[in-house]
Amino acid sequence: MINFTLRFLGVIFLMGQTLFTYGQYPCGTKPLSDIQRLSILKMRRQYEQARLGADTTKKTTDSLKAKTLDDGVTYFPIRAHIARKNKKGGFSIGELNNSIAVTNRHFRVAGKGIQFYLAGTDFDFVDDSTFYDYSSSKKDSLGRTQEKLITGRYGIRNAINIYFLNSIKADGSEAGGYAYFPDTTYATNHVFMASRQSNDNLTLPHELGHYFQLAHTFDSSADPDTADRELVTRLKIEKGKRLLANCETKGDLLCDTPADPYDRVKAIFSGCAYNLPASKMADANGDAFDPQMNNIMAYFQCGAFMFTGGQLNVMGGLALQKRLNPDNKYTVNGPAAWQPTVVKTPLLRKVKLANPGGVLIAWADSSTNETGFLIERATTKNGPFLGIGGVQPNDTLFTDRNIVASQTYFYRVKPSNTTTAAYTKIDSIKIDSIQICAPLYAVGCSEGDGINTFILKAETILNNQKTGCGTGGFRDYSTLTATVLSGRKYPFLVSVMQDTTGFYPQSVSIWIDANRDGLFAGSVVNPDSSEMLFQGKMARGFDSLIDTIAIPKGLKPGSYRIRVRTQRATFGLVFSPCNTYKYGEAEDYTLVVPNIPARLSAEIIAENIPTEVYPNPSDGQKLFVRVPTDAKQTVITLHTLTGQPISFQQQPIDANLLSVRPNQKLQTGMYILKAHSANKVYTHKIIVTE
């Protein structure tokens, strides 16, 4: 890891690449064992043979029945066990419902559809302080582990048991959650969640992915036997001595999830882009890894979270069959499972535009036994309807802020402890014009969680200091601009407000409204895609965060709004540009992409790797250049943007590393460095700070 000091307008901070971690804590689910791997491969072959051998042309009675919006969906009850301390606290019911809605959105397209509902009219509160901060393998005086104790005391056999615990240690290590792959044993019908990560839009779908037989995308990536590591290639016929694709039998056993090296190199990267030489990120064939940064079963948390088609087919196919196996020691579907609660249907009122931006969905609560409400949305009246949010019992309002212009949306609402019997009628609304979605906070920055400074060192510097606390946790600084170049990286700084009692470190995310739809997320074609440029958090005890953002390639000249958003780091990472958080602040700015003269296009835009130049930004006195070939045979040239050459001394440090020392300290500004190596020229733009 390379650390260096970066001066931001007279203030010195430490900047370096970040070792990204999975949210706050990683998943505690164990990797596939050799026995599990062989068993799954055998079952998948048998399942596919049986599926292909079925007579798909024979008409059945079911096929002749009238179809409804929800035909074919398999529903699973979830029994929520919520740990509390002194009968207080614990995972909030509103967040639980929201997490169920988000999970349902991902699982709705698994096979013919998998959906979850809450079992019962109440919640199983675990008021034993023994389990509040839970450690799975910790034993009592009789040698019983905490997992055995909590599942034996609170677990049931007719619903999926999910335990929401204040914190989790899985086999002694901190974890965000863990689960088990499908099996007939009762022990595999339990999922464990750390409350702090249970509503992060990722961890619950991730753990239920394990529950439905999905492995981590990086499974076995650090196996001591290199033959058991998944290769990048997907070709079954290769040239020369190259190894053939092994994605069907290695890694996560799926070929539409790219090979992921996370466990081997711990994936050091800046923001959401890898920042290591290709040689350190290559497989046995020498192919560079390019994993999916937004896959739910990965550890990167970048972009709009998703399962691949292969993952959805596994969950909705063989894994679903395994969870419905009549030989299981538990039942999670059918007459013996915990049945949906009979709840009176809520009355949906006319949906309308909200102020600020979004669609307001309101309904009348007709019941007294609901466990909350789930809100669903579709872009056609016939669906599919996907979960967009959930609220606690008795709440009757929800605002959908992820909308785009020239699109019609259809909405419906149901109690979270039912399946299809208590859906409201469907109502719709057409969005005619673009609205900038408003970031909402329950408390905001009034308790010291505001953004104090935002600095972006681009082609021109955006420097906004002592910004104070915006009303409702939001300030529109879109009149403040910075000039950027499409495809380039720039360093930024975000610092948090302080008062006499100190400060709260913040999680920080940054988005760009690249398609100018006001959402900072996706397009009309794909509204669930992401426009996130950065996601991270301030280290414990630090009031500032420094990293880089990469401006998307291909942006046309013009102005683009960006959003910098924080929330108190103890509440997790910032995933949404618009939804409601409790503590934090958001600020909007504008980036301007200019028309690039042809003279600069080749010099600045077409920077190429595999060389590395650091530190960059530089203090103008010393640079290091890492090249893929012999450093002694590499020639460096350095000049200004106008072409004026700069005199310097270059010195090999090792076989692939050189130092470059200008004869005179470089003035603040931009320079072009070229590394002429092995008949190739690698170009870098160098920024010199004050």
pLDDT digits (tens, 9 = 90+) for 153-211: 999 999 999 999 999 999 999 999 999 999 999 999 999 999 989 988 899 999 999 99
pLDDT(69) > 50: yes
Q: Which 3 state secondary structure label does DSSP give 63?
A: helix
Contacts of 495 (CB under 8 A, 6+ apart): 451, 452, 453, 543, 544, 545
Least confident of 273-277, 452-456, 601-605: 601-605
Report CA dihedral (281, 287, 292, 295) to the nearest 10 degrees: -90
- How would residue 10 be classed by pLDDT, with cut points 50, 70 and 90? very low
* Length of the chain as a residue count: 690
Q: What amino acid occupies position 558?
A: G
For residue 483, what pLDDT is reported? 85
Do the domains 598-688 and 347-431 match in fold? yes
Copy the structure tokens of residue 593.
Answer: 């992409």
Query: Quick one: DSSP state of residue 163?
Result: E
Task: Among 24-33, 180-189, 259-268, name the most confident range.
Answer: 180-189
Characterize the bridge pairing of strands 657-662 and 669-677.
unpaired
Tell whether the model's pLDDT for residue 124 goes beyond 60. Answer: yes
* Amino acid at the residue 112: K
CATH number attached to the domain at 598-688: 2.60.40.10
Question: Could you report the per-residue pLDDT of 339-362, keeping only the tens digit for each?
Answer: 999 999 999 999 998 866 689 999
Mean pLDDT of 400-405: 80
Q: How confident is the model at residue 442 (pLDDT cuts 50, 70, 90)?
A: confident
Tell me the two tokens of residue 372. 């909350």
CATH of 347-431, one of 2.60.40.10, 1.20.1630.10, 2.40.50.140, 3.40.50.2300: 2.60.40.10
Q: What percent of the chain has pLDDT over 70?
A: 87
In the block, which residue shows the tokens 């753990």?
Answer: 207
The answer, yes or no, to whether residue 141 has pLDDT greater than 80, is yes
Amino acid identity, position 245: A
Torsions phi, psi for 571 (to 5 deg): -95, 5
Query: Which CATH class, in words, describes the domain spanning 438-593?
Result: mainly beta
Q: What is the pLDDT of residue 604?
A: 38
Instruction: Please tell me the predicted confidence (pLDDT) of residue 13.
Output: 33
| Model-wide pTM > 0.75 | no
Q: Is the pLDDT of residue 64 over 50?
A: no
First and final CA of the chain: distance in angstroms? 24
265, pLDDT greater than 80: no
- How confident is the model at residue 522, as a pLDDT? 52
The two tokens of residue 643 are: 């072409």
Q: What is the mean pLDDT of the chain?
A: 85
pLDDT digits (tens, 9 = 90+) for 552-581: 888 888 889 999 999 999 888 888 888 889
Yes or no: say if 275 and 18 are a contact pair by the CB < 8 Å rule. no
244 versus 271: the higher-pLDDT residue is 244
Q: What pLDDT was estimated at residue 605?
A: 36
Please confirm whether the linkage preceding 615 is cis (ω < 30° from 0). Answer: yes
pLDDT tens for each residue of 290-340: 888 889 999 877 767 899 999 999 999 999 999 999 999 999 999 999 999
Looking at the predicted structure, is the pLDDT value of residue 238 above 50?
yes
Q: How far is CA 165 from CA 207, 538, 601, 656, in A?
A: 14, 25, 54, 50
Q: What would the mean pLDDT of 374-383 be, rounded to a whole number?
A: 94
Give strand pairing partners of 456.
462, 492
Break the chain into its structural domains and give their ranges.
38-49+69-211, 347-431, 438-593, 598-688
Burial of 365 (0-12, 13-18, 19+ CB in 10 A): middle
Asked if the 38-49+69-211 domain carries CATH number 3.90.650.10, the reply is no
Confidence category of residue 671, pLDDT binned at 50, 70, 90 = confident
Q: What Rg do the C-alpha atoms of the chain give, in angstroms?
A: 27
